[in-house]
Amino acid sequence: SQQGEEDPQALSIQEGENATMNCSYKTSINNLQWYRQNSGRGLVHLILIRSNEREKHSGRLRVTLDTSKKSSSLLITASRAADTASYFCATVETGRRALIFGSGTRLQVQP
Amino acid sequence: EAGVTQSPTHLIKTRGQQATLRCSPISGHTSVYWYQQALGLGLQFLLWYDEGEERNRGNFPPRFSGRQFPNYSSELNVNALELEDSALYLCASSPRKQGMITEAFFGQGTRLTVV
């Protein structure tokens, strides 16, 4: 089962532009995480935001969390061709022992 | 520090056979997760092991099973393989901090092809 749904499913932008991806989930959570996957291989953890946090930054990444709307967004600023990848949100549901992933957003950054 | 390692990288099996996939977590990590990712799709949660015990399983039939060994490495077994089991199988490990699931570290996956 999947907890989160990402929007859009695919995004194509030019190098230097900002990329915004959204994630919606269904139940209460302990934390929400964002991961990147290059070319169908292993995922890399990007950032974790706890349920009592509203915004978090890490380098060119900015994540927001709105628990009232059960949604999160990932902003990548000044994108680079190397940012081309699939991005997934993952949630840890309150009381549930699992890290559940969304369907992902495929980001293409054109040089 | 070595990352999560999975073996084999690729595996080709015939329908009806059994497949065994292996995963070694990062040293010190007690939790191991298994996911199935069909081509072009998201990750489907399969199993979670912690401290040698199965803690949770996803919505998969019983022919998907596994175990975690005393050294925290893990094995995923898929019996009676079907064509739709063809996928990338990802293993991840994480430390448990105060009973919370935090960031997971992924291996590069095993590409299982059933013919």
Can you list the domains of chain B with their CATH numbers?
A: 5-114 (2.60.40.10)
C-alpha A49/C-alpha B89 separation (Å) is 26
Non-local (6+) Cβ contacts of B93 within 8 A are B4, B23, B25, B26, B29, B31, B32, B33, B72, B104, B105
Instruction: Establish if A99 touches chain B: CB-CB under 8 angstroms.
Output: yes
Number of domains chain A is built from: 1
Rounded to the nearest integer, the mean pLDDT of chain B is 93
Minimum distance, in Å, between the CA of residue B14 and any CA atom of chain A: 23
Domain CATH number, residue A41:
2.60.40.10
Choose the mutation target among B24, B36, B43 for the interface with A, i.e. most A CBs under 10 Å.
Answer: B43
Per-residue pLDDT tens for B31-87? 999 999 998 788 999 999 988 999 899 999 999 999 999 999 999 999 999 999 999
The pLDDT-based confidence of B95 (bands split at 50, 70, 90) is: confident
Q: Select the residue of B41, B48, B105 nearest A45 (Cβ to Cβ).
A: B105
Q: Which domain holds residue A18?
A: 5-110
| pLDDT of B22 above 70 | yes
Per-residue pLDDT tens for A76-85? 999 999 999 9
| pLDDT of A1 above 50 | no
Side-chain half-sphere of B33: how many Cα atoms within 13 Å? Answer: 25
Choose the mutation target among B23, B101, B108 for the interface with A, i.e. most A CBs under 10 Å.
Answer: B101
State which of A31-40, A54-63, B88-97 shows the largest mean pLDDT. Answer: A54-63
